[in-house]
Amino acid sequence: MNKDVRNGPYPARFVFVLILVAIATSMVFWRIVDLQVVDRQFLQDEGDKRTVRYSRIAATRGVIFDRNGRALAVSTPVVSVWVNPQELAQKQMPWKQLSRELDLSVRYLKDRIKKNSSKEFVYLKRHVTPEKGQRLMDLNIDGMYTIDEYRRYYPSGEVAAHLVGFTDVDDNGQEGMELAYNEWLEGTPGKYRMLKDRRGRLVKSAELVASANPGKDLILSIDMRVQYLAYRELKAAVSKQKADGGSLVVIDVDSGEVLAMVNQPSYNPNNRKRINVASLRNRAMTDVFEPGSTVKPLTLAAAMGTGHYSKGSSIDTSPGVFRVSSKLLVKDHRNYGVVDMTKMLAKSSNVATSKIALDIGAETIWETFYQVGLGQASGSGFPGESGGILPNRGRWRATETATLSYGYGISVTALQLASAYSVLARDGLKKPITILRDGNRDEIEEQVISQRIAKDVRGMMKAVVKKGGTGTQAAVEGYEVAGKSGTVHKVSRNGYEENKYHSTFAGIAPANDPRVVAVVMIDNPKAGDYYGGAVAAPVFSNVVAGTLHLLGETPADVKRIAKKQQPRANRS
């Protein structure tokens, strides 16, 4: 450095400037180190926020199958169209083409973009076909994009809608098994990374960050062959009887699995634009009704369990009416005189049932009802399943005892009633009801009714379907049927409705070697007939006949012939 400068008139000023330059240089150097080493990750993240984009990879939802592998709910690929209104603000849009492809009015599209002009993400339409999405992308509109998604499709439509349920636009379960097993069915979305410029244009191709994992499949216990049959017959009956609705349940006796469960009215889960919310309920599991005379076999089982009654016991019903209390006069259709237990069921005598109930007490009847599953949910896990109503009183009045014995004052679902009958069909063994195939593999059976009593009651129930019984129209050609009809007045806020009824038939087939239990309930038939034996029994007959045929159940007369011929074959 020039000596004259160092030794000039202001040496201190020179040193000061030199120090300042050194400090500034050091600070610049430190900042370089700080940016490149200390804050490197922060700066990289800030840069990534402006250029790196992460996009979601939709996961396929698990398929729902029936017991034979028939798909009931599948996921199909779709795309959803979205826009960045800020990018579209100054552009000339091909409104007519967009309107035609999206099936939306030009006015709607303009208003939607204008109202959301301050946002960066707005859906124009969800779930269009991939082909339509590609045509939209071919328009090369900056600011309009698509997202790959999946939409649920239900091949069986309204036939299995109440049981399977449906998902919302975001593929989350909303009803039925879709809701009950949502976590099981839904998959884990994946993610990929891409580099875009400030206008959102792709600069570098995508890089997979995490793969999408599909959801798990679900196999239901229902047999769609039986389901279609049950749906067809119930719908026809509700229409013919001009009824408000109905429910039908078919259960496999051995496994406790539900083979069919249908309701009317139903809905199409693939098109829910104009759906009636009331149609969404799975009435067979959520709606309760008084079972009426269908519980009389259970009342007899309770009476026989005390040891005071047997299938040969007789009750005098003369003169066809019975004064229980000042508020209750029980009547039969006519004076049946002295009846045994079998005739009591066949004629559905309220007088005989009431006399038995007052003799053994309401607590005994209540205990049997509860043991077979009334007053408690089945444990199927179905959303909104009702446990019914089985009142447990500290002190039972005579009126309450009598009405309990023939099915008034309690409420059940169609599934509960079917479950109770399956106990009789299984010789007194109780097994949980399930909607899943092999869902009861680890469940333990419980003997809640004596095997002898269950068989005796089932044998007496056969008289209901034979000539002279109240349920002759429930007969199935080639098979013996054990069952019971029921007819009760509907309940409203003002009490029992005079001309509104629940018509029910519950039965077991074949009676001697049970394979299936079925319950049919018709809600408020208005075409003339309203007795369960006239309205619900024919539906039972048609459905059970078809079900036994589909399951390969050999008719009773064929079994007898084969049994007679078997020794001859052995001798030869």
Q: Which active-site residues does the annotation give?
A: 293
| Tokens representing residue 66 in the block | 């029936």
Burial 298-325 (b: 16+ CB within 10 A, else e): bbbbbbbbeeebebebebebeebebebe
Q: For residue 192, what are its two tokens?
A: 């990929």
Dist CA 248 CA 245 (whole Å): 11
- For residues 28-46, one letter each, b for 16 or more C-beta atoms within 10 angstroms of the residue's C-beta and e for the rest, the string is eeeeeeeeeeeeeeeeeee
Question: Which residues are registered as beta bridge partners of 144?
Answer: 83
Amino acid at the residue 529: D
CB atoms within 10 A of CB 209: 12
Element at 447 (helix H, strand E): strand 446-447
Spatial separation of the C-alpha atoms in residues 244 and 238, rounded to whole Å: 7
C-alpha to C-alpha distance for 543 and 451, rounded to whole angstroms: 28
**C-beta separation of 200 from 55 below 8 A:** no
Distance in angstroms (rounded) separating the CA atoms of residues 126 and 389: 44
Distance separating the N- and C-terminal Cα atoms of the chain: 132
Scanning 52-197, the segments in alpha helix (DSSP H) are 85-88, 95-102, 106-115, 130-137, 161-164, 176-180, 182-185
Our measurement of the distance from residue 2's CA atom to the centroid of its chain's CA atoms, rounded to an integer in Å, reads 96
Residue 13 CA neighbour count, 13 Å, CB half = 5
> Cα separation of 285 and 269, whole Å?
19
How far is CA 418 from each of CA 61, 240, 370, 424, 473, rounded to the nearest angstrom?
A: 32, 24, 14, 10, 19
Instruction: Give the whole-angstrom CA distance, residue 195 versus residue 204.
Output: 5
Torsion, Cα 439 440 442 444, to 10 degrees, reads: 160
Q: Which class for 274: exposed (0-12), middle (13-18), buried (19 or more C-beta within 10 A)? A: exposed
Q: Return d(Cα 156, Cα 511) in angstroms, integer.
A: 32
Q: Exposed/middle/buried for 203, CB within 10 Å: 0-12, 13-18, 19+?
A: exposed
Phi, psi of 2 (to 5 degrees): -65, 125
Reading the block at residue 297, the tokens are 């076999």
- φ/ψ (deg, to 5) at 280: -75, -20
Give the number of other CB atoms < 10 A from CB of residue 490.
16
- Contact between 424 and 301 under an 8 Å Cβ cutoff? The reply is yes
